[in-house]
Amino acid sequence: MNRVERALMHGLFIHLHHNIDRAIDFGVFRELNEKVSRVSPGELLVGPDANDDAAVFRMPDDSGLVAAKMESHCSPCVPRPYDSAATGAGGAMRDVVAMGARPLFLLDFIGTRPLDQEVIVGPCGFKGQCTCGSCETMTSGERVNLIVKGIRDMCETMGVYVVGGGLSTSFSDIVPAVVAAVIGRMVIDKPLTKPAKKAGNRLILIGKTDNDGNDTLYRAGLAGTMRPALALFDEEKETMEAALAVIKTGKVNACSDLGAAGIGAAVSESTRFGGLGARVDLAKAPVKRENLTPEEILICETQARMLFQVDPRDSAEVIAAAKSEGVEAVEIGEITSEKEAVFFYKEKEIARIPHEPPAELFE
């Protein structure tokens, strides 16, 4: 197991971001929802136990469908509160898009230390004392203002209302709580889902990759400093419109947004949940700079990207639909009948991710 395989599998199999069901018993919600369905049958299509990007449900007496997602972006707000709050909101919006919906409304919650207490914003924020010389000391209230501005600016760009939220100043931890919940209206009559559906389907990536967002490496202990993803406001808007144009073709069989652990997680989770495999050539992914390493292309969390799975006969039509909105879209691989996702850079194998974690991962 090489370095990047360990980092990616740590995120996929150990870190709670991808393994919430280890901390929360989704069975209690399933039982609750089954009871509620006796009163309002058929209203919940995708619930919390589905391991998908967002919930999908129908409001009583409404013929359309609604998608909703809540996402936190707490730790990244220590070094980069503005960008990380914005990307937290943008990530929740992409999750809603991944189900086939246009984001419309957002609620946010911020929890922080008392507003007059000092906090360190920058790479040393987790240490509580700056040793790099590039951090900024400010009040908790000033940091809250940056967080609010990040959420506000992303919503303005994406055309999303802020309809409510909450604030608590009773937190004592260095890390603030930053949570965004997004609600959207489906543009198709049934939800898209994350699991891979059929061997031979092509993987189409929308958006360009950069080297920002090393959260997965940091959480796995393979990077000394967290460098969160940068907010890409205009690109996020363009990607949303391109994704919705693709979805409206009716040719998408599965969809994921690219958030934590980037291409690696989007492909590996889809194949694992679908009981299939994948072969991906990272050299085909559109990039923003020429010197990106294959490992960075695989695992970095650059924003404003989506991944679609389509029948090979529909690949050209889907790519054309995305490009009609001015966004780069390319075929980077295909779904296989194997039980693992294999990532190459041209002919060189970079990572092989199985459906089950190897025992050495826990050593």
Residue 169 lies in a domain: yes
Active site residues: 15, 73
Note whether 180 and 212 are same-domain residues.
no
- Residue 78: the pLDDT is 94
Same domain, 55 and 167: yes
Note whether 353 and 213 are same-domain residues.
yes
Q: How confident is the model at residue 161 (pLDDT cuts 50, 70, 90)?
A: very high
pLDDT in tens, 305-332: 999 999 999 999 999 999 999 999 999 9
Cα separation, 352 vs 19, whole angstroms: 20
Average pLDDT over residues 233-238: 97
Bridge partners, residue 353, by sequence? 341
> Tens of pLDDT along 209-230?
998 988 888 777 777 777 788 9
Q: 233 and 98 in one domain? A: no
pTM score, whole prediction? 0.95
pLDDT of residue 222: 74
- The domain boundary residue, chosen from 162, 186, 210: 186
pLDDT average, residue stretch 111-140 = 94
Last residue of a domain, one of 129, 160, 186: 186
C-alpha closest to that of 56 among 48, 64, 45: 45
- Is residue 341 in a domain? yes
pLDDT at 226: 74
Measured distance CA(269)–CA(311) in Å, rounded: 19
Angle at 185 between CA 228 and CA 198, to 5 degrees: 75
Q: Which of 151, 186, 221 is the last residue of a domain?
A: 186
CATH number for the domain spanning 335: value is 3.90.650.10
| Contact present, 319 and 331 (Cβ < 8 Å) | yes
Neighbours of 102 (CB within 10 A): 20
Range of the domain at 175: 43-186
Mean pLDDT score across all residues of the chain: 94
Q: Nearest Cα to 233, choosing from 27, 59, 89? A: 89
List the CATH number of the domain containing 161: 3.30.1330.10
How far is the CA of 339 from the CAs of 52, 203, 349, 351, 354, in angstroms?
19, 16, 16, 14, 6
Q: Are strands 340-345 and 277-281 parallel, antiparallel or unpaired?
A: parallel
